[in-house]
Structure 1
């Protein structure tokens, strides 16, 4: 039995671009954006935990082979696919990744169907900053940035860049100033995240919540999973997306 067999396959189209999706669960909506190399078993396992906490999870398949393991070969295959795609910008400064428009459309559709204060969004690694890009122009109420690694941290400027256009950055800052919190997770010595957490603290102030772990590992929610990190994300979603009466008191408290 495949790991995605219990998920409902579908697709979403925006501006002529279509990507497959997988959906499962009930309750408020959460978009889980996979990391390189794709929707790996560890990404699916994390998504299953979100479902189990009472959320409707949509997994978009943006690149890579669904359910393939996170091997070096699969990562190189995915990166080759990403590098030739016009939907992704891995090196540009001060630019929002083009695929953000598709993700925003997906979030709007999910929110229109399910209602509530908004949807949750979590990006990982290369897609880590995509949740922030979604916040700029979509009904996202709980954005999570797991080890944001784009643009590639080559040089001081790229290491600090948030992968947002100036207009999108101002929109994000406005929503954060109005009360929206942003949760970020990383290993303290992960070189892929560059100095972005410093930028996030400077630009977003106290409404940026940093969860940092010692060490030089990378994937906080999947391959190098930290249970505390997973618990903080689940509690964040509960706090931001569910009425207080629906919270599960036996789980970790919100950040």
Structure 2
């Protein structure tokens, strides 16, 4: 059932590679497509072929994808050993606060600047953003940038070791909530029921903080691709997606694309 060979190396040659300098820091960003901008932030351990496949679906749905390289080796799904090294480096990096509850990762400031630039370049009603796993909560913090109007949180896994913790500063969270209410915005979120990295307590904490502005959706573990390299159901739109009509993970993907269309394209 695995439709991508885990050993496949994706050249990403159909993306423009751009070195983007914002706030004094330069990061590689892969860009493709046309239409309103969507920032696709990869899960651990980086921009794997599975993440790139999702980015192409977003591109083909009528959007310009901006996919920043935040950690790991681009285009590959590394071995377990290399994955753990990538996780360890990210955990000690000053850009991420992997273990801190009630604290926003500094990298979100750079991502907000990227969203502002993408909106200027692409136009449209605003910018969409999706974070996954390690970056799962970043789309919410990015709403401090006024251009970001369509946030998606896929299996948000930070802070680590605190299932009910939220990886966002309380003052920032209050500003985000106020903006969502003032502008009638919502955040979509997805997880598998038995996900050991993003547990029910996290969705409960988001719901308590944001009320009906947080739309959390939980997929049964049986919907996860059993042939995925990671056996624990976790990655809703990448590793554990089953690319077949009628599958819950494909329906989740299509819901996300529809969410972007409804928010970012004026004639929808």
What TM-score do the two structures reach when normalised by structure 1? 0.90
Deviation at 1:210, TM superposition (A): 1.6
Q: Residues of 1 paired with 2:266 and 2:89: CA distance? A: 41
Deviations, residues 159-206 of structure 1 (Å, cap 9, x unaligned): 222211111101111122121110001001212113111011112112
Counterpart Cα distance in 1 of 2:212 and 2:250: 24
Count the aligned residue pairs.
241
1:59 aligns with 2:82: no
Runs (5+) with no aligned partner, structure 2: 1-8, 222-231, 242-248
CA contact (8 A) 1:105 1:138 kept: no
Q: Does 1:24 align with 2:35?
A: no
Distance, in Å, in 2 between the alignment partners of 1:2 and 1:76 is 21
5 Å-filtered alignment, 1:110-129, equals 110-129=118-137
2:192 aligned partner: 187
More displaced stretch, 159-168 vs 99-108: 159-168
Q: How far apart are 1:73 and its partner, in Å?
A: 2.6
Q: For residues 1-255 of structure 1, what are the structure 2 equivalents within 5 Å?
A: 2-69=10-77, 71-152=79-160, 154=161, 158-178=162-182, 179-194=184-199, 195-215=201-221, 217-225=233-241, 226-245=249-268
Distance between the aligned counterparts of 2:76 and 2:146, measured in 1? 30
The 8 Å contact of residues 117 and 241 in structure 1, kept in 2 or not, is answered as yes
Tell me how far apart the structure 2 counterparts of residues 39 and 74 of structure 1 sit (CA, whole Å): 14
Q: CA RMSD in A?
A: 1.5
Which portions of structure 1, spanning 4 or more consecutive aligned residues, are displaced by more than 6 angstroms?
Answer: none
The question of whether the paired residues in 1 share the 8 Å contact of 2:115 and 2:145 is answered with no
- CA-CA distance at 1:69 after TM superposition: 1.2
Judge conservation of contact 2:34–2:122 (CA < 8 Å) in 1. Answer: no
| Compared CA separation, residues 74 and 68, structure 1 to 2 (3 A) | farther
2:125–2:266 CA contact under 8 A, matched in 1: no
List runs of 5+ in structure 1 lacking aligned partners: 246-255
